[in-house]
Amino acid sequence: MRRIGLPDVIGPISDRWSRLPTPARYVVYVIAIVAAFALPADSIGSFMSPQSDWSAILFYPIGVYILLAIGLNVVVGQAGLLDLGYVAFFAIGGYTMGKIGLSLKWDFWVILPCGIAAAAVAGVILGAPTLRLRGDYLAIVTLGFGEIIRITANNLNFTGGPRGLSGIPNPPSVGSFSALQFNVATTKPFYYLVLVMIILAIVLVKRLERSRVGRAWAAIREDEDAAEVMGVPTFRFKLWAFAIGACIGGAAGVLFAAQTISITPEDFPFLLSSYIVVAVVLGGSGNLAGVILGAFLVAWLPERFRGFADYRVLAFGGALVLMMIVRPEGLLPSRRRRAELAEGTGGMGSLGGGVGGAQTQAVRIEAVETDAVQTGAVESEAAP
Amino acid sequence: MTESAALLELRTVTQQFGGVTALSEVDLGVPEGAIFALIGPNGAGKTTVFNLITGVYRPTAGSLWFGGAKISGKRPHEVARVGIARTFQNIRLFDNMSALENVMVGADARHDSSVVGAALGLRRHRREERDGRERGMQLLDLVGITRVAEDTAKGLSYGDQRRLEIARALATQPRLLLLDEPAAGMNPAEKEQLGVLIRKIRDIGVTVFLIEHDMGLVMQVSDRVAVLDFGQKIADDTPSAVRTDPRVIEAYLGAPADAT
Ligand SMILES: Nc1ncnc2c1ncn2[C@@H]1O[C@H](COP(=O)(O)OP(=O)(O)OP(=O)(O)O)[C@@H](O)[C@H]1O
Ligand SMILES: [Mg+2]
């Protein structure tokens, strides 16, 4: 029925990858990390970014987008919850850095955990009432939340209104190492910093994925009601997904503000939320390598082809529509995700349908239970 | 089986859905250590009883008690922790997870390691992962499907999927196991094995509450049988007594008075 395409090639590769012995995999990781640290080299930059400073672009948008995509992937890819206002957490991190850095003159390293905590608290405050909503409502509420944060920042004197905050301190430089001098004239050190954060985020997310937490998220994505009956506190784990995603977004925001020195509400538009969603979906929700690739492309392509910058949104729209038609599972989908999409339980449908209140939940179980006839049960489930 | 040692009790439970009364003032007691069967024609309200027990529905009236504590009002995952597990009439596995992962989700119901513990790879987390894996394999062995442990659930044969559901439920370490038509779609040989498995489960100390249409299986394994008809309990006795109860025969054959 299906055409033979990229998935059929990538499938076996990722299967082989997961069967590689651990030492072999570590060798690949080390090579990847070394390559990532070598990335700002001029020889690479002259091709990747002939028109602008390559290592600056590596920090923003590329590095920051990747970090954001890793965070959003926890929410969208792992727990299956569609969050359209993810930029809110990025903004909260940024304003925490700006506000505390300016008023209390604290160090970047002290503000970083504050920004993460502030974003996590915001994630819980947003999630607690909304994660009981049905999926489509969740998307709308999160979208609204993203806008509320931006508009609030625009209207408060506390956050500097439309002019935002400027003169935010850079992170302190370390000794006289050129790679660790953080000021307006340096770019590479910030890239190294975001790279370290990306690596830490990957380690964190991978560990969770392989634990009971990742299993719970997968179970929620596949059949939330059955998961609940099997003892998975579904609401709590969805809230955790929100909080962890928020933490990563907050960290990215702190770092961003500490590098750009001045932030305004316009740095946190809805469009940024949608870029990150595009990065996650384009790359293959759930699969980290795919998500990173997606974020890289979303960030890099417009920089590389600056002449077409005006058509950026149009190009994204076109690319997304094209992807949904030829490759709905994303560029590098996870094996499980691919299977879910093939049978119609995953994908945008399940992104939207991830949540269920007590009422809808009861009705849904009933709906499946009562029409189940002896042997027909499996077949009737497979039908859409 | 003594009546006094009821592990699970339904006290005058009524369940309405809009105008439909699915259960009407039903009293039920499942004795500890027994294999208790609930039978009745299609639409009698049997699955509704399981949905009430597991907290999927809240009773319109009446209450449910487990081991002397009230469970009506608890959320499903809390009911699981109290020691009640179930299978579904239509199979509801986590289709794209492996058989072992499915069972490990069940085992996680007994695990306490936190998200932070998992993120940092703390010792308790690692111990619980190992425990979940080991217990998972033991349970797959108990139901006889270790050979497909690494296969995705949806790729399993129908009978194996039913067995996997039982293993996943047992992984939550229940005191009471609810089986909703476990023999549906099985061939006679598989039903035979299922009967053996159900007894084995009872013998390891798990009380079994069975909904089943296959009378052969019900009569063969049950210690006690209750009968529902149009949401009302019409019999609750030993298998042999129920078999000869005129009201039960009438319900199954469809008396003219019931035809509306
Ligand atoms: N959530 C619900 N909303 C409305 N009606 C419901 C709901 N759940 C069950 N019912 C109704 O309650 C009655 C009992 O249903 P239930 O599924 O408990 O029957 P059952 O005895 O399990 O039948 P079967 O042998 O076919 O599985 C049916 O009339 C059914 O339509
Ligand atoms: Mg039923």
Closest residue by Cα to atom 8, ligand 1, is A366
What confidence category does residue A326 fall into, taking pLDDT thresholds of 50, 70 and 90? confident
> Could you tell me which chain A residue has the CA closest to the CA of B214?
A374
Is some CB atom of chain A closer than 8 A to the CB atom of B85?
yes
Q: What is the pLDDT of residue B260?
A: 41
ipTM score for this prediction? 0.92
Kindly give the parts of chain B with pLDDT less than 50. Answer: 1-3, 256-260
Atom of ligand 1 nearest to the CA of B89: 27
> Could you tell me which chain A residue has the CA closest to the CA of B78?
A231
Q: Rg for chain A (alpha carbons), in Å?
A: 21
- List CB contacts (< 8 A) between A370 and chain B: 43, 47
Cβ <8 Å between A215 and B101: yes
Is some CB atom of chain A closer than 8 A to the CB atom of B80?
yes
Which amino acid, one-letter code, is at A117?
A
Q: What is the mean pLDDT of residues A303-309?
A: 75
B residues 225-254 lying closer than 8 A (beta carbon) to A: none
Cβ <8 Å between B111 and A212: yes
Q: Does residue A309 sit within a domain?
A: yes
DSSP chain B: --GGGEEEEEEEEEEEETTEEEEEEEEEEEETT-EEEEE-STTSSHHHHHHHHTTSS--SEEEEEETTEE-TT--HHHHHHHTEEE--SS----TTSBHHHHHHHHHGGG----HHHHHHT-HHHHHHHHHHHHHHHHHHHHHT-GGGTTSBGGGS-HHHHHHHHHHHHHTT--SEEEEESTTTT--HHHHHHHHHHHHHHHHTT-EEEEE-S-HHHHHHH-SEEEEEETTEEEEEE-HHHHHT-HHHHHHHHT-GGG--
Q: What is the pLDDT of residue A133?
A: 79
CA B28-A228-B35 angle, to 5 degrees, is 30
Q: Does residue A7 sit within a domain?
A: no
Greater model confidence, A366 or A235: A235
Minimum mean pLDDT among A145-154, A320-329, B123-132: which range? A320-329
> Could you tell me which chain B residue has the CA closest to the CA of A221?
B94
Per-residue pLDDT tens over the stretch A235-292: 999 999 999 999 999 999 999 999 999 999 999 999 999 999 989 988 877 789 999 9
Residue A91 belongs to what domain range? Answer: 53-353
Ligand 2 geometric centre to CA of B214 (Å) = 13
Q: What is the pLDDT of residue A351?
A: 32
Q: How close B174 gets to chain A, by Cα (Å)?
A: 11
Ligand 1 geometric centre to CA of A92 (Å) = 48
Q: How close B94 gets to chain A, by Cα (Å)?
A: 6
Q: What is the pLDDT of residue A364?
A: 40
Cβ <8 Å between B115 and A240: yes
What confidence category does residue A146 fall into, taking pLDDT thresholds of 50, 70 and 90? very high
Cβ <8 Å between A375 and B184: yes
Q: Does residue A48 sit within a domain?
A: no
How many separate domains does chain A show? 1
Protein residues within 5 Å, CB atom, of ion ligand 2: B 46-47, 89
What confidence category does residue A13 fall into, taking pLDDT thresholds of 50, 70 and 90? low
What confidence category does residue A357 fall into, taking pLDDT thresholds of 50, 70 and 90? very low
Q: What is the pLDDT of residue A354?
A: 32
Q: Are A213 and B115 in contact (CB under 8 A)?
A: yes
Cβ <8 Å between A219 and B161: no
Minimum mean pLDDT among A79-83, A260-264, A358-362, B255-259: which range? A358-362
Supply the CATH number for residue A294's domain. Answer: 1.10.3470
Greater model confidence, A3 or A131: A131
Minimum mean pLDDT among A109-123, A247-261, A321-335: which range? A321-335
Which of B15, B88, B114, B156 should one mutate to test binding to chain A, selecting the residue with the greatest count of A CBs within 10 A? Answer: B88
Which amino acids bring their CB within 6 angstroms of ligand 1? Answer: A 362-363, 366, 369-370; B 17, 20, 22, 40, 42-48, 89
Sheet holding B20-31: strands in order across?
B20-31, B6-17, B61-66, B69-70
Q: Does residue A198 sit within a domain?
A: yes
Residue (of B240, B96, B129, B110) closest to B173 by Cα position: B110
Q: Does residue A32 sit within a domain?
A: no
Q: Which CATH superfamily is domain B1-83+174-260 in?
A: P-loop containing nucleotide triphosphate hydrolases (3.40.50.300)
Which of A229, A368, A380 should one mutate to test binding to chain B, selecting the residue with the greatest count of B CBs within 10 A? Answer: A229
Q: Rg for chain B (alpha carbons), in Å?
A: 19
Cβ <8 Å between B85 and A230: yes
Cβ <8 Å between A336 and B96: yes
Computed over every residue of chain A, the mean pLDDT equals: 83
Per-residue pLDDT tens over the stretch A174-191: 878 888 889 888 899 999
- List CB contacts (< 8 A) between B118 and chain A: 207-208, 211-213
CATH 3.40.50.300 range(s) for chain B read 1-83+174-260
Ligand 1 geometric centre to CA of A133 (Å) = 25
Residue of B90, B115, B128 lying closest to A369 (CB–CB): B90
Ligand 2 geometric centre to CA of B185 (Å) = 14
Q: What is the pLDDT of residue A340?
A: 65
Per-residue pLDDT tens over the stretch A212-232: 999 999 999 999 999 999 999
Candidate ranges A328-332, A353-357, B46-50; pick with highest mean pLDDT: B46-50
Q: How close A120 gets to chain B, by Cα (Å)?
A: 14
Q: Does residue A13 sit within a domain?
A: no
What pTM did the predictor assign?
0.86
CA B192-B250-B62 angle, to 5 degrees, is 85
Q: What is the pLDDT of residue A370?
A: 40
Question: Between A and B, how many CB-CB pairs are < 8 A?
Answer: 140
Closest residue by Cα to atom 7, ligand 1, is A366
Q: Does residue A5 sit within a domain?
A: no
Residue of B94, B129, B154 lying closest to A219 (CB–CB): B94
Q: What is the pLDDT of residue A41?
A: 87
